[in-house]
Amino acid sequence: MVKRAYRYRFYPTPDQVEQLAKTFGCVRYVYNRALSERRRAWVGKRRRISHAETDRMLTGWKRDPGTAWLAEPSKGPLQATLRHLQAAFVNFWEKRDGPPSFKKKGRALDAATCFRNCFSFRDGQVRLAKQEQPLDVVWSRPLPEGAVPSQVTVSRDARGQYHVSILVEETVAGLPVSSGQVGIDAGITSLVTFSTGEKVTNPRHEKADRARLARAQRVLSRKEKSSANRAKARARVSRIHGRIADRRRDHLHRLSTRIIRENQTVVIEDLSVRSMVRNHSLARAISDASWSELRRMLEYKADWYGRTVIAIDRFYPSSKTCSVCGSRVGKLPLDVREWACHRCGTVHDRDVNAATNILAAGLAVAACGEGVRPPRSQE
C-alpha cells in the first residue's frame, strides 16, 4: 500500500471563495504566530516549544476577543498548519532543510489541509466542513475504485486557480521485471543523455516565453503600488509563470515515466543544484531544466513500480574518464563537447561518455556498496 495524492482543479462559488479566503488567512496567521512564539522562546530562554504547547496556544487565541475570528473557519486546517510547522522544525533540526520562515500574503501558495473529521466524500463529491455546497471538481481522472480519502488539501495559486489534492491509500501493481539498465547524464543543451547514446532535447520552456514574460514584468513595474491595475498586471505575470511551470511539469512526468517503464535500474548523479545555480551564467538555464524535480519523480515512481534508482558520488569525474580504457584527462572545459582519449584514441561524445561512466559507477555501487570512489591518480 502506498499513499498517493490526486490533484484536481475546482471552481468555487462566491460564498466558497469568501470562506476559503478567510481560511487561508487564518492558516497563515496561526502559522506565523506560532513560529514567532517558538522563535521568541528559543532566543530568550533557549527553550523549545512543543507541538502540544502550540496547540494549547491556538485554543487561547480563539478565546481572545482580539483574535476571536480564528473560530470562524473549521478547526482542522488550523491544527494541520501547526503540524506542518512542527514537521518543518524537525527537518531543520535533522539538517534536511533550512529554518522555517514566515508566510507572506500574496507571495506563496495559499493552502489549507483538512483531515477526515473536517470533510466528507460521498457519491464522488467533496464537501468541506462549514460549507453548504460540495466543491465543483473537474474530475480529470478517476480516483482508485473504493478509495477512501484520508486527507484533502485545497489551495489557491498566484494565478487565482483553485485545486484540491486528495490523499488516498492504494495498492500499486509493480511493473514486470526488465533487463534495461541506463545511466543518465543531466545537461542543458540536452536535458538528459542516456548511456545508450540517445539524447533528449531540452525544451527550454522558460526561454520560449521569456520575451512575453519580460513585457508583462515591464508593464507590472510601471503600475502604481497597491492599485487595482497593479494587481491585474501581477496576475498576468503569474499566469505566464504558471504556464511555464505546467509545461515543464508535464514534460518531466512523461520523461520520468518512460525511463522507469523501460529500465529496471536507473543511475543518476547526486548533483548539488543549489551550488550550481550560484554560477550566474548558467543559473537560469539550470533552474529551467529542473534536474532536482526529475530526480524526485524518478525516485518516487521507482518506489511505486519496483525499480531501483542509484545516485552516484557527485565528485565522480564521469565526463573526464574514458569509458573504454579508464584513463582520465586533466581538464575538460564545458565548451569541449567531443574529445579523444590520449591512451586508446577513442573519440568520445562528452555527454554519452559521461552517461556510460555513470551507469558503470552505479552498477559498481550496487554490487560493492556506497564506499566506491573514483581513483585519484591521473594518467
Q: Confirm if 323 and 356 have CB atoms less than 8 A apart.
A: yes
Banded model confidence at residue 373, pLDDT cuts 50, 70, 90 = low
HSE (side-chain half, CA atoms, 13 Å) at 142 = 5
Rounded Cα gap, residues 309 and 317, in angstroms: 20
User: Using 50, 70 and 90 to split pLDDT, how confident is the model at 269?
Assistant: very high
Strand 347-349 with 338-340, pairing: antiparallel
Structure confidence at residue 213 as a pLDDT band (50, 70, 90): very high
Per-residue model confidence as pLDDT tens digits over 350-360: 999 999 999 99
- Which residue(s) pair with 114 in the sheet? 152
Q: In the predicted model, what is the mean pLDDT of residues 335-360?
A: 91
- Euclidean distance between CA atoms 161 and 153, whole angstroms: 14
The kind and range of the H/E element at 190 are strand 190-194
Q: How confident is the model at residue 365 (pLDDT cuts 50, 70, 90)?
A: confident
Strand duo 125-128 + 137-138: pairing: unpaired
Say yes or no to pLDDT of 204 above 60.
Answer: yes
Closest CA to 309 of 295, 290, 293: 295
Percentage of the residues of the chain whose pLDDT score is greater than 90: 74
Distance CA 174, CA 261 (A): 10
Burial status of residue 194 (CB atoms within 10 A of its CB: 0-12, 13-18, 19 or more): buried
C-alpha cell at 118: 473536517
Residue 62, class by beta-carbon neighbours within 10 Å (0-12 exposed, 13-18 middle, 19+ buried)?
middle
- Indicate if the pLDDT at residue 279 is higher than 90: no
Instruction: Answer yes or no: 157 catalytic.
Output: no
∠ CA 94-45-27 to the nearest 5 degrees? 60
Question: Once rounded to an integer, what is the mean pLDDT over residues 62-69?
Answer: 94
How far apart (Å, rounded) are the C-alpha atoms in residues 228 and 216?
16
- Quick check: is 185 catalytic? yes
Confidence band of 371 (pLDDT split at 50, 70, 90): low
The catalytic position among 110, 185, 206, 288 is: 185
Residue 64 gets the label, from left (phi > 0), alpha (psi -120 to 50) or beta, of beta
Residue 82 has pLDDT above 60, yes or no: yes
* CB distance 83 to 16 below 8 Å: no
pLDDT band at 329 (very low <50, low <70, confident <90, very high): confident
Nearest to 328 by CA among 341, 316, 345, 346: 341
The stretch 244-260 carries a mean pLDDT of 96
The SS3 assignment for 366 reads helix
Out of 110, 206, 269, 288, the active site residue is 269
The confidence score (pLDDT) of residue 105 equals 84
pLDDT for 376: 46
Segment 133-153 mean pLDDT: 92
CA distance 339 to 329: 10
- What are 186-199's pLDDT values in tens digits? 999 999 999 999 99
Q: Report the C-alpha gap between 259 and 19 in whole angstroms.
A: 43
- What is the share, in percent, of the chain residues with pLDDT greater than 70? 97
Mean pLDDT of the chain: 91
**pLDDT confidence tier of residue 18, bands split at 50, 70 and 90:** very high
Among 110, 206, 288, 351, the active-site one is 351
Q: What is the pLDDT of residue 322?
A: 93
- pLDDT confidence of residue 366: 82
The three three-digit cell numbers of residue 243, written as one number: 504556464
Residue with cell 460564498: 15
What pLDDT sits at residue 369? 67
Distance CA 264, CA 174 (A): 11
Rounded mean pLDDT, 127-134: 93
pLDDT at 61: 96
Q: Which ranges of 48-74 does DSSP label H, i.e. alpha helix?
A: 51-63
**β-pairing verdict for 265-269 and 308-312:** parallel
Which residue, 148, 154, 163, is CA-closest to 1?
Answer: 148
Residue 371 makes CB contacts below 8 A (sequence gap 6+) with: none
User: What CA–CA distance (Å, rounded) separates 153 from 7?
Assistant: 9
- Rounded to two decimals, what is the model's pTM? 0.86
328: β partners: 321
Whether 378 has a pLDDT exceeding 80, the answer reads no
- The answer to whether residue 335 is catalytic is no
The residues that bridge with 308 in the sheet, in sequence order, are 265
pLDDT at 377: 42
Q: Supply the pLDDT for residue 243.
A: 94
